[in-house]
């Protein structure tokens, strides 16, 4: 193909100093020019005729229709003839098979022209068929690779979704086929990397390379620019920090080590750390353990109250209860839209399940105080809340939610936490109280305070770095601050104590 044969001249009729038709054809294999349609168009111009490329079913893939009898097409496709030539209505037609019969890339390349075929044009058609076959095979391989990557990505997402709802057994079964041993562990860190949405595909590939199959790497279904990494191995953290440090405008937030059943909690910690990482020079941060309000409550009283509050759920079938509890926990940690994407269901399904839980518990999730209380109860019953450090008190097993908030250790912590806001000349604590009472709605809080809604938002943003907690995004940080406000007397606790007996 590289040399001149039979006195061939370039397709455009130029002298031998210019590229020959064979060299022009070879140019179609360059990485920037690999397009079957361009090759067919080139052949049509070079052969001074009409060219079409048909697939194994006779469907036009490229070019313009060429009159070709159905029986001739069938004979060439079936391999009975490698090529066919005929003349019809003053037109000369020649067809050659592309690929081997019965292969996915099999087809027919046909040329119709007014002049008879000479040796040069016939060879041009044969050689072009070979190039077309190579391009079709490359497209087929690329498409198979894309389908495989899509399937693998879907499996990784399915495993994440199973972990999020605490179905560890199913998650391990799904992972075992492609990543043996990946989840043969009881604990793991969760990391979230953030980059521009256009960079996420490349970031995902780099995370897969960096972790070498020792971590679960998932494109976040809720946030376009996020990549989630479930990392059983301790070595994954430094690898991801090095990766984030080497990429501009890429941030990394990580959780502390949690059991796989607490993946949703670890994810929330990673998101919280990610918010801090955006302000760090190296762009990375790991969630710092700190004093949690539940640690300062009476252990027995907290567990007894949680059991009473959630008792109406115990009458449900096991799988129904598990589904409602998992959805509600995620719905309290994230927005309904994000929870739906994480679970792989519609947001209406998330809302319907949460409304059912509201009805069973007699709760109103539009109130932040109620959300904080139910969040505390769900985490306590699931064993996610840290073990309280305070000792038991007399009659603790019958203590109500309000009584849980009256312990000296908890009140001291709450007053110290909220007392940090006094250093600001603005009344941040008053704004925070009104904003929380308004369910986190800046407009309603502004009406209560007689100020502009933007002022409320600015004050709440000012509270976040002082308390070192995210408030404008739902989740554990917000609920800790709400519990502190109730313990300090800034807000009244809701009446959520569950049925008396039964």
CA distances to 91, 134, 181, 473 from 76, in Å: 19, 19, 51, 65
In whole angstroms, give the CA distance from residue 366 to residue 245: 40
For the chain, give the percent of residues with pLDDT over 70: 88
In whole angstroms, give the CA distance from residue 217 to residue 188: 13
In whole angstroms, give the CA distance from residue 498 to residue 318: 20
CA distances to 11, 103, 396, 449, 486 from 493, in Å: 86, 71, 18, 21, 6
Which residue is listed with tokens 């990391």? 191
pLDDT at 134: 83
> For 441, which DSSP code?
-
In whole angstroms, give the CA distance from residue 493 to residue 42: 78
In whole angstroms, give the CA distance from residue 306 to residue 497: 8
Overall pTM surpassing 0.75 (yes/no): no
pLDDT at 23: 66
In whole angstroms, give the CA distance from residue 85 to residue 83: 7
In whole angstroms, give the CA distance from residue 41 to residue 48: 10
Residue whose C-alpha is closest to residue 223's, from 338, 144, 355: 338
- The segments of the chain whose pLDDT lies below 70 read 1-19, 22-34, 101-105, 145, 289-291, 383-397, 498-502
In whole angstroms, give the CA distance from residue 469 to residue 478: 7
pLDDT at 42: 85
Residue 433, CA atoms < 13 Å, CB-side half-sphere: 17
pLDDT at 2: 31
pLDDT at 28: 64
CA–centroid distance for 80 within its chain: 50
In whole angstroms, give the CA distance from residue 107 to residue 136: 10
CA–centroid distance for 403 within its chain: 42
> For 228, which DSSP code?
E
pLDDT at 370: 96
pLDDT at 73: 79
In whole angstroms, give the CA distance from residue 332 to residue 336: 8
pLDDT digits (tens, 9 = 90+) for 406-445: 999 999 999 999 999 999 999 999 999 999 999 999 999 9
pLDDT at 227: 96
In whole angstroms, give the CA distance from residue 24 to residue 21: 5
Sign of CA dihedral 226, 229, 230, 234: negative
How high does pLDDT run on average in the chain?
Answer: 84
CB atoms within 10 A of CB 502: 9
Which residue is listed with tokens 């994440």? 160
């Amino acid at each position: 193909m590289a040399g001149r044969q039979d006195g061939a001249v370039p397709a455009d009729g130029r002298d031998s100093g210019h590229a020959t038709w064979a060299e022009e054809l070879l140019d179609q294999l360059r990485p920037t020019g690999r397009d079957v349609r361009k090759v067919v168009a080139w052949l049509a111009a070079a052969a001074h005729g009409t060219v079409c490329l048909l697939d194994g079913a006779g469907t036009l893939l490229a070019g313009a229709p060429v009159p070709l009898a159905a029986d001739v097409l069938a004979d060439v496709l079936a391999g009975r003839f490698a090529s066919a030539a005929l003349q019809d209505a003053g037109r000369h037609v020649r067809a050659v098979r592309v690929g081997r019969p019965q292969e996915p890339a099999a087809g027919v390349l046909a040329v119709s022209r007014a002049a008879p075929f000479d040796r040069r044009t016939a060879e041009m058609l044969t050689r072009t068929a070979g190039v077309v076959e190579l391009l079709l095979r490359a497209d087929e391989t690329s498409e198979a690779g894309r389908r495989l990557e899509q399937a693998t990505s879907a499996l990784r997402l399915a495993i994440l979704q199973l972990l999020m709802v605490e179905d560890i057994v199913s998650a391990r079964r799904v992972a075992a086929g492609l990543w043996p041993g990946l989840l043969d562990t009881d604990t793991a860190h969760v990391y979230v990397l953030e980059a521009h949405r256009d960079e996420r595909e490349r970031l995902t590939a780099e995370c897969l390379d960096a972790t070498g199959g020792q971590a679960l790497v998932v494109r976040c279904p809720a946030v376009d620019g996020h990549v989630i990494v479930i990392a059983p191995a301790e070595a994954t953290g430094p690898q991801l920090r090095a990766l984030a440090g080497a990429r501009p405008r890429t941030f990394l937030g990580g959780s502390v080590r949690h059991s796989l059943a607490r993946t949703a909690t670890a994810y929330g910690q990673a998101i919280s750390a990610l918010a801090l990482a955006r302000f760090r020079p190296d762009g990375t941060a790991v969630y710092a353990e700190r004093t949690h309000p539940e640690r300062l409550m009476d252990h027995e009283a907290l567990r007894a109250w949680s059991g009473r509050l959630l008792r109406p759920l115990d009458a449900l079938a096991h799988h129904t209860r598990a589904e409602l509890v998992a959805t509600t926990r995620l719905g309290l940690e994230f927005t309904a839209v994000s929870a739906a994407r994480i679970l792989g269901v519609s947001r209406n399904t998330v809302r319907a399940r949460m409304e059912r839980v509201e009805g069973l518990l007699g709760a109103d999730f539009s109130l932040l105080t109620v959300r904080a209380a139910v969040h505390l109860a769900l985490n306590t019953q699931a064993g996610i809340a840290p073990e309280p450090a305070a000792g038991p008190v007399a009659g603790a097993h019958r203590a109500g939610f309000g009584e849980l908030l009256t312990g000296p250790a908890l009140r001291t912590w709450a007053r110290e936490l909220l007392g940090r806001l006094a250093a600001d000349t603005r009344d941040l604590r008053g704004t925070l109280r009104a904003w929380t009472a308004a369910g986190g709605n800046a407009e309603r809080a502004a009406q209560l305070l007689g100020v502009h809604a933007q002022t409320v938002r600015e004050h709440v943003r000012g509270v976040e770095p002082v308390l070192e907690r995210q408030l404008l995004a739902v989740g554990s940080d917000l609920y800790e601050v709400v519990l502190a406000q109730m313990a300090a007397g800034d807000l009244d606790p809701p009446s959520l104590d569950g049925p008396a007996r039964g």
